[in-house]
Amino acid sequence: MREIVNAGWEGFIDLSRELEEDLIEIGSTLPAWSVEGAFMADSTIERYRAALDSVPLSDELRGPLVSTLNGVTGGCAVVRLGNIAQALGVGEQFLRLAMAILAEVAIPFQPFRRWPLWKEIGVNLNANPGLSTGTGYNAFHMDLVNATQPPDYTTLLCVRPDPLGAGASILSDAREAVSRLTPSSRALLADSAYSYGGFFDLSGVGEEYTPFPVLDGEPEDHGFVRFTAKMLAESGLDKEHVHAARELADQMVAGQVSYTLRRGDFLIVNQHRWVHGREPLGDGQYRVAPENRRLLLQMFLRSAGTTGPAAL
């Protein structure tokens, strides 16, 4: 597994000190956001974009961010906001600025009705270790895999890294992984044979899609590589389709990179191309006070004009 380093991966977005200072200044003046249904209100997006437009060096952030996430070889970015988090803290002012940055990419929204826009992902020692709130290995997946309209982007903002130094995010270019598969496996993955998870109390993601194909045949900016390693345990999946999905999982692991998020790091993943997961947290989490354990905040984004599968 390759640990990402700044010289070897083009997904890092570092800000100049001058830009950081300007963003700190507007971060302290941004108004509270408002919500329309599951989505951040248009009025908030307009005000946040106007605030960023007032920053002379804003294109130093906007241009690289959009091109990194949507370029032919891109799809994943880490915006380093650590110095800004140090200046503003990680409370409301910092989150408003983070929202303004996301609004440059697409529309922030929260598909889970029981959660606010920012969904906390903490550490639950009693949870299944493989879940996002667990302490173990969280295998490669895309979020809302069984929705007709999954979020176009998923994001993770690091409030506290694992104090035991583990829990690296793992990332893989799913499209590249697919390109290395055998033709027979690609044909099997195009079958509507896969299922995973429940579907309830959701907004803005269409309808339940089950069974679904891993490869939907849609153009990359519209379709998805609908994959979660957890679907391999679903009953009723025949050996041939399991084998094809395992071959894809192996290729994702072979091409993966990892990065341990630091305080203020903002991971943004284009779900049309990349999948994500997590290495296990450090041993001995029970010795860490709950308020000191790893904490991420999750947000989802919807691109304008996104639709679901052409036919179910």
> What are the chain's domains?
74-82+109-302 (3.60.130.10)
pLDDT of residue 10: 79
Distances (CA, A) of 155 to 76, 96, 118, 121, 271: 10, 15, 10, 12, 10
Summarize pLDDT for 244-272 with one digit per residue, the tens. Answer: 999 999 999 999 999 999 999 999 999 99
pTM for the full predicted model: 0.94
Summarize pLDDT for 146-200 with one digit per residue, the tens. Answer: 999 999 999 999 999 999 999 999 999 999 999 999 999 999 999 999 999 889 9
Give the residues of the chain that fall short of pLDDT 70: 1-8, 235, 305-312
Distances (CA, A) of 308 to 123, 148, 252: 33, 5, 25
pLDDT of residue 74: 83
Cα radius of gyration rounded to whole Å, the chain: 19
Q: 266 Cβ partners below 8 Å, 6+ apart? A: 78, 79, 80, 81, 98, 101, 155, 156, 157, 158
Q: How far apart are CA 36 and CA 42, in angstroms?
A: 8
3-state SS, the chain, equals CEECCCCCCCCEECCCHHHHHHHHHHHCCCCCCCEECCEECHHHHHHHHHHHHCCCCCHHHHHHHHHHHHCCCCCEEEEECHHHHHHHCCCHHHHHHHHHHHHCCCEEECCECCCCCCEEECCCCCCCCCCCCCCCCEEEECCCCCECCCCCEEEEEEEECCCCCCCCEEEEEHHHHHHCCCHHHHHHHCCCCECCCCCCCECCCCCECCCECCECCCCCCCCCECCEHHHHHCCCCCHHHHHHHHHHHHHHHHCCEEECCCCCEEEEEECCCEEEEECCCCCCHHHCCHHHCCEEEEEEEECCCCCCCCCC
Q: How far apart are CA 130 and CA 89, in angstroms?
A: 30
241, two tokens: 């389709």
